[in-house]
Every structure is written in structure tokens, then in C-alpha cells.
Structure 1
Amino acid sequence: MPRANPIDKHDLRRRALADSALRTLGELGYARSSLREIANNSEFSHGVVHYYFHDKLQLIVYCVMQYKQTCVTRYDGVIADATTPDGLVAAFADKLVETIVDEAPMHRLWYDLRSQSMFEESLREAVGQIDRLLEEMIWHVVTRYSALAGVAPAMSPNTAYGMLDGLFQQALLGYLSGRAEALDALREQVRRVMPLVLAAV
């Protein structure tokens, strides 16, 4: 078995730290988290966390980037398995609901970070990268839907992303507020708005 080189070991440790930190970050959010708080809620000491990440900002950006890179691949199966436009929309909406139920704290952290980027310039590049990653994911769904419907998209990738992301964020807030009907509302809203990406205006 090949031995990991020092760079690989360093990255593996950073990944392990990030996985551990995500739990605390998801619970406390950006403003209330510190490297010491994160260390106190993980198996790693404060010194170890600080060795691999210079500050809280670097750790949080790394964590969210790692999470979102994994998250976007979860829709690959939905796209690959779809055989009808309606079937794709239903499966896509179900997957959106599933990820809210299973990973609400992680999505809350992402929206927290994106809001903070309005005030902290050092966050903007990373937030922009993640936004583009999510926009590409949504556009893969849209182009598959378009192909199945036999109609070209009538809206830009940015517009489609903004529309669906807005619905997702509203549903997440409703779910976090204890409104169980927010999830069924998200399914219905996705079913209603997806045809708009193909409708010429």
C-alpha cells in the first residue's frame, strides 16, 4: 500500500478537522464560533486546530467549501435517472427537501457565511466560488429538464439559480421555525416554477 506523502497527510488532517468543526459551526453559526469553541467541541486541541487553520475565517471557508462540493454531487443521480420532465422535477424537489431535513445546520451556516460576506471583503471570493458551484449544479438540472421537455431554456443560469435558491432558503427558514408545511410548500413551488425556465417572456 503506497504511503501518503506529507502534503496528503496535511490535507487529510485538515479534512478531518473540518468534518469535526462543521458540527459546532452548524449549531453556533459564524459570529458565535471561535477556534477555541470549535476545539472544545471536537476531539482536537485548540493548538492543533490553530496549527492547521490560521484563524476562524480560514477554517469556516474551508469547511463550507468542502461541504458544498460534496453536496452538489447528490443531484447527479436525480439527473441521470430522470426519464420525463415531471419525474425530474419531482425527484429534484424531493432531494431538496431531503437535504433540508438531514442537513439544515450546514445550510444555515452557508447562508450565514454568505450574509457575512456583505460586510467582510475577505469572505467574498470564497462565497463567490461556492455560489458559482451551486449555480452550475442548478443549471445541470435545468438543462436536463430542458432536454427532456424538448424546449430550450428561456432564462439564464444566474436567474434560474436565484429563483430556486430563494425558494430553498425560504423553506429552510420555515423548517427551522418549526413549520413542517414548509417542506410540502417547497415541493409545490418547485413544481410550479420549473416550467418558467422554459417559458419565453
Structure 2
Amino acid sequence: MPTKEARRAPADKYDERRNQLAESALQTLGELGYARTSLREIANNSAFSHGVVHYYFSDKLELIIYCVRYYKARCVTRYDAVVAESTTPEELLDAFAAKLVETVQEEAAMHRLWYDLRTQSMFEEKLREAVLMIDATLEDMIWRIVTRYAELSGRPTSMTPHAAYGVLDGLFQQALLGHLTGSADAVDAMAAQVHALMPLMLAPAVDAAGG
């Protein structure tokens, strides 16, 4: 009787190896950035030879796009528990801010790579489709937070998904920059700003008299 391994489709094994290469490459990419990373550099910092890397990815651009898609596919579920488990607007704000702080502190290199690629996509046309797709999924992720906060607050949001994402992403990017350049209070300031800004995304309250 064939073993489970023997029954696996070649395509599954191919995708599994590409995922392994992505895991290995992400650290190098996060440390060196888009411009300074080559397939050979990735191979030199991994358990895979340059020939193996080149077999699964035709060039650096293909590998980088795959890596970021692979990483962001996990990121977009990061706040699902915040949405599902929060029962008050204050609880949601606390959990959301804490999760933002955690990801800046623990995964700064990956976020730095993302912002690097997003900037590069303004010049590198081949990057744009992937960057726009990933950006849209991140916008959806943030919108789930904003709309849940509005629901718990009992007031509609006054923002569009695009505007809400722009505000919070800009705040996150500034905190990341501060964290990477040694600012001791960058992440705490971000958390405080999340608490200050989120209420401003709600429509004005209407008093009982309708005024």
C-alpha cells in the first residue's frame, strides 16, 4: 500500500519546497532589503544551494513576490481574535493596540521589507500587481477592526475603508521607523494614538432630542 508521502501529488511537494525557500529567504530579505538581496545572497544564508533556489524561482523578483505573499497571507488573520473576542469598544482598542505593539517589536524586519517593496512598486512595474493585491487584503483586515469598533460603540463609522487604512497604516509605519531607529517610546506612542484616533473615526453622536 503506498505511503502517505508516495501518494502526495508532485505539485504539493513543489509548493512545499517553495514555502520552505520562502521561510528561509524572508530573514535575509528583511535584513538586507529589496535592492541589496540577490538569489545567491539568499542561498548563502540558507540551507539551499543557489541552483536549488534558481530551480524554484526564475529570478529575485519572483521569489520576493512569493515570499511577501506567503508572509502576508498569515498576517491578514492577525487581528481576527481581536474582532471575535472583544465585547466592548474599550476592550477592542486595548487588544488592537497591544497586537500592533507586539508585531512591531517581534516582526519589524518583515514589516520593513513590506514598506520597502511598496515603495519599489512605484518604480518596478512587475511588483505592482502583487503589492496592490496585498495592500487590499491589509485594508480589509483593518476595516474589520474599524467596523467592529463602530458596532461595539453603537455608532456608524464616518470613514471609508481606504481612509481608515491610510490613517492607521501611516501611524504604524511611523512607529516602525521610530522603533528601528532606537526610539524608546515609539510603540507606546502608537498605542496611545490608536486610542485617541479610533473614536474620531465614528460619526458624531446624536443626542436623545435628535439634535
TM-score range (shorter-chain normalised) is over 0.9
Q: Distance in 2 between matches of 1:39 and 1:120?
A: 23
5+ residue gaps in structure 2? 205-211
Q: 2:74 aligns with which of 70, 73, 85?
A: 70
1:90-128 residue CA offsets vs partner (Å, 9 max, x unmatched): 110110010011100000000000000010111100000
Partner of 2:28: 24
Partner of 2:37: 33
1:70-98 residue CA offsets vs partner (Å, 9 max, x unmatched): 01212111111101001101110110010
Asked if residue 97 in structure 1 is aligned to residue 101 in structure 2, the reply is yes
Asked if residue 115 in structure 1 is aligned to residue 115 in structure 2, the reply is no
Q: Distance in 1 between matches of 2:200 and 2:58?
A: 45
Larger Rg: 2
Report the Cα offset of residue 5 of structure 1.
Answer: 0.3
Sequence identity percentage: 67
Within 5 A, what are the aligned runs for 1:1-201? Answer: 2=4, 3-200=7-204
Q: Distance in 2 between matches of 1:161 and 1:24?
A: 28
TM-score in terms of structure 2 length: 0.93
1:159-178 residue CA offsets vs partner (Å, 9 max, x unmatched): 00000000000000000000
Structure 1 or 2: more helix by fraction: 1
1:123-169 residue CA offsets vs partner (Å, 9 max, x unmatched): 10000000001000000101111110111111100000000000000
TM-score in terms of structure 1 length: 0.97
Report the Cα offset of residue 8 of structure 1.
Answer: 0.5
Q: What count of residue pairs does the alignment treat as equivalent?
A: 200
3-state SS of paired residue (1:106): helix
Of 63-72 and 167-176, more deviation after overlay is shown by 63-72
5+ residue gaps in structure 1? none
Partner of 2:209: none
3-state SS of paired residue (1:74): coil
Q: Distance in 2 between matches of 1:34 and 1:20?
A: 13
Q: Distance in 2 between matches of 1:89 and 1:65?
A: 28
3-state SS of paired residue (1:128): helix
Kindly report the root-mean-square deviation, in angstroms, between the aligned alpha carbons of the 2 structures.
0.9
